[in-house]
């Protein structure tokens, strides 16, 4: 009987153990199922974060492209203004150069005519002064208004011929 009671107690333990094995398996299956649900939820949150990050990056790319376009437009406008100012400066430099040459020529003519006044000293016609034949010019007397020479007036009325197309500098 001892052996029977040992077996019976062993079999009852086995029965109890088998019930507890099933409970253990059920518990492990429940944990496994909860873990799978938790992993799925975690993967869903990860995909959502990844999608949000991708959407943020796409929005940032769009914003940066827009800013880049605006900067390129401003650079283009500024470059065009610079080129216009540079062309205008070139024209003004050419005009200043031409006016400087005219002023020098007029100063030379005035100096020459003033030198004639000093050399002639009131002589009428006929004197030769600095390459100018006073009789040919048609002045009987040289005075302070000798710069109003009909030969010089045509020179004074000439327009300044500088333009942006000249590459003087």
Half-sphere exposure of 67 (CA within 13 A, CB side): 6
- 121 close to 138: Cβ distance less than 8 angstroms: no
pLDDT for res 5: 46
In a domain, 46, yes or no: yes
In a domain, 29, yes or no: yes
Per-residue pLDDT of the chain in tens (169 residues, 90 and over written 9): 444 444 444 444 444 556 788 888 999 999 999 999 999 999 999 999 999 999 999 999 999 999 999 999 999 999 999 999 999 999 999 999 999 999 999 999 999 988 877 765 555 444 555 554 544 444 444 444 445 555 555 555 565 565 555 554 4
- Copy the structure tokens of residue 72: 């390129």
In a domain, 157, yes or no: no
CA dist., res. 99 & res. 121, Å (int): 32
CA dist., res. 94 & res. 168, Å (int): 7
In a domain, 101, yes or no: yes
pLDDT for res 153: 52
- 125 close to 134: Cβ distance less than 8 angstroms: yes
**Domain range enclosing 34:** 21-114
pLDDT for res 115: 82
In a domain, 163, yes or no: no
pLDDT for res 169: 46
pLDDT for res 40: 96
Domain count, the chain: 1
């Amino acid at each position: 009987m001892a052996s029977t009671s040992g077996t019976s107690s062993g079999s009852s333990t086995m029965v109890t153990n088998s019930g507890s094995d099933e409970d253990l398996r059920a518990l492990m299956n429940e944990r496994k199922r909860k873990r799978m649900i938790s992993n799925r939820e975690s993967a869903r949150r990860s995909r959502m974060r990844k999608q949000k990050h991708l959407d943020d990056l796409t929005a940032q790319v769009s914003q940066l492209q827009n800013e880049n376009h605006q900067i390129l437009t401003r650079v283009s406008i500024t470059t065009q203004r610079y080129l216009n100012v540079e062309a205008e400066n070139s024209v003004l430099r050419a005009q200043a150069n031409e006016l400087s040459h005219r002023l020098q020529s007029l100063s030379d003519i005035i100096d020459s005519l003033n030198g004639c006044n000093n050399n002639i000293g009131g002589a009428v016609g006929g004197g030769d002064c600095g390459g100018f034949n006073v009789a040919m010019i048609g002045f009987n007397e040289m005075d302070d208004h000798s710069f109003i020479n009909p030969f010089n007036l045509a020179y004074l009325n000439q327009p300044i011929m500088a333009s942006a197309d000249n590459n003087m500098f």
